[in-house]
Amino acid sequence: MKSLSLKEIRTKVEALEKEIRLQRSILEVLQEPLFILNRKGYFIKGNPKGMEILGHPPEELQEMAFMDVVPLEDLSRVLEGFEEMEQGKEVRFRTHITSRLRGEIPVEFFGTLRQGVFFIALRDLREKIEVEEEFERTKRVFTKKIQERDLYAKELQMIRDLYKGKLGEIERMKEEAVRLSYTDDLTGIYNHRFFIEQLTLEVERQRRYSTPLSLLMIDIDYFKQYNDTNGHLAGDQVLKAIAILIQRGVRQSDIVARYGGEEFSAILINTGRETALEIAERVRRMVADTRFPNESAQPNKDLTVSLGVATFSSPISNLTDLIREADHALYLAKKNGRNRIEG
């Protein structure tokens, strides 16, 4: 083998020193902790970041193996990593190291075997884990807020539905109150108050549009005698039955009301005198043809009604005149023998 000249030896030494200085510079400027270990896992060298994270002085670290800075619970995973590197694999996994000054530190482990030594890089995960934990906390808070919002929305909707239901119930109660205020308790038809209000409206309409308007006043013949003989319960049943018969005898557009006691009235809308007399006769006949309990004890052996008819015309100029005219016609019907129509 040819011996090298002094100049050649000096050149090689200078190149080797340059390479060592370059490696040392690269090692020192790396921002992540980096270690070089021998095949037995003992520390050969660590960069400043590596020395900082472990907290051991260089002379102490050179007497230690990497397994000395691994917590017991993570030891098996790190050993597996070294076995994989021995097989030529590059490994990467999360684990912990034990710092002399800071206790356990979560790290990401990067390792490979090159030229008979292990190169181990560590990434400090404390900040990342804090960010992840903060993210998870924020996520939990956000999720809770969403759940609270959804719960609030559901409760609000329930309150709205309840409020809507209550409003509907109130409206129904109002409608029922209005209906009851206009309804006769016994017969279920309109009462005297509603009769006056509707007749007032129809009279005003007649004045404005000159439409025909008629009124029936209906009285049960000898009702007091029937009541006294058969009792008030039987009399009430007769009142209910005759209210139904009157409603059947008039048209759907007409308004039937209990005027008071045994007296009824019917507003015949858009109806002239001839049609009003026809309707009155139909009502009279329906009542006369109906069989009532114990009606044979009545003075005329039958339970009947008398009717007075009045039609709005030039002599009858207002509501009072119309009612007075129908009342007078009813008086004549009763005076002239009952179970008849006058008007």
Catalytic residues: 262
Question: What do you get for the CA distance between the two ends of the chain, in Å?
Answer: 157
Give Cα separations from 295 to 29, 227, 288 (angstroms).
124, 11, 11
Q: What are phi and psi of 300, to 5 degrees?
A: -100, 20
Residue 159, token pair as written in the block = 């309150």
Structural contact between residues 109 and 95, judged by C-beta atoms closer than 8 angstroms: yes
Which pair of structure tokens corresponds to residue 211? 């439409």
**Which helix or strand (DSSP H or E) is residue 42 part of?**
none
Fill in the amino acid letter for 119.
F
Q: Please enumerate in sequence order all residues whose Cβ is within 8 A of that of 175, keeping only pairs 6 or more positions apart, or say none.
A: none
CA atoms within 13 A on the CB side of 302: 14
Alpha carbon distance 196, 119 (integer Å): 108
Q: Give CA–CA dist 250/216, Å, rounded.
A: 10
Specify the length of the chain in residues. 343
